[in-house]
Amino acid sequence: MRIAFLGTGQMGAAIAALLIKNGHSLTVWNRTQYRLQPLVEQGATAAATPAEAVKTSEVIFSMPMDDAALEDTVFGSDGLLEALPKDAVHVSLSTISVQLSQKLMVEHATRNRAFVAAPVFGRPNVAAEGRLWVVTAGKQEALEKVKPLLECFSRGITVVGDKPYKAHALKIGGNFLITAMIASLSEGFVYAESQSIDPALYIEAVNAALFQSPFYTAYAKVMLLPPETPGSTIALGQKDTRLFREAAAATNTKTPLADYFQDQLQQASDAGLRDRDWASGYYQFVRSISHRSS
């Protein structure tokens, strides 16, 4: 299938590489052009603009990092929307606001173009292994067209319905639970240290006894053995928590725990941890304030 892939950061590059590996023809674009070279070496064609990338494509994947970048990719000068072929499907893989997802749904429908939301759960290393979990929503015909492609890089797919914004809403809600897990693990590890218990032994015992979750195991490893390159950052955690609070506020729903997390993440960012790994950076922050208060 002829595919355009727009946004080749760590996650996007890993997914695009799997699509190439599965025999698809890719045209790739990224605001930072040098990031395209590894994909070009694998057989992709580089495009100078989003419009150029999509003009002959059957499916367009977009994965810029935030709302502003995606809006520019879609609606900006040489954006993808006006160049989208009639029968093509635009699939948004990014974690974006519910509000922007609703806008994209309307703007595509106005032009009689197909739009599917398919944000993913997982870090770049999970993407490279083809083991992401995809949450998707859109019209049935469009979903059927893109599902084989989603299966190239996922271990499972959840279909939320025919309104794309619901998939983005679910993804934001899932990321809130990741934040809650990171926060509770951080404080639990600090508690274990205060009792002269090895945090690795602490989570091994508690996870085996209570949660039996590979997710807890994976995040604990990241927190206790920080990666050289962050899978995601404190700044991205701030963004996702803000999106969760904004979506809830739009329906007059109170989120006191998310409000607390937003404050903690802001403090961590102010402490110079903005670009640190989301999980290990938060743990570092909790340790610092615990030791400071003692």
Q: Judge whether 171 counts as a catalytic residue.
A: yes
Please, are residues 35 and 8 in contact by the beta-carbon 8 Å criterion? Answer: yes
Amino acid residing at 105: M
Bridge pairing between strands 120-121 and 132-137: antiparallel
Catalytic residue among 171, 221, 239, 254: 171
Which DSSP string do the residues of 206-251 spell out, in sequence order? HIIIII--HHHHHHHHHHHS--SS-SSBHHHHHHHHHHHHHHHHTT
Query: Measured over all CA atoms, what is the biggest interatomic distance in the chain, rounded to whole angstroms?
Result: 64
Q: How many other C-beta atoms can be found within 10 angstroms of the C-beta atom of residue 14?
A: 21
The number of beta carbons lying within 10 Å of the beta carbon of residue 223 is: 23
Residue 17 to residue 19: CA distance in whole angstroms: 5
CA-closest candidate to residue 51, choices 17, 25, 27, 22: 27
What residues contact 64, with CB distance under 8 A and at least 6 apart?
Answer: 6, 7, 31, 70, 72, 73, 94
Please identify every residue annotated as catalytic: 171
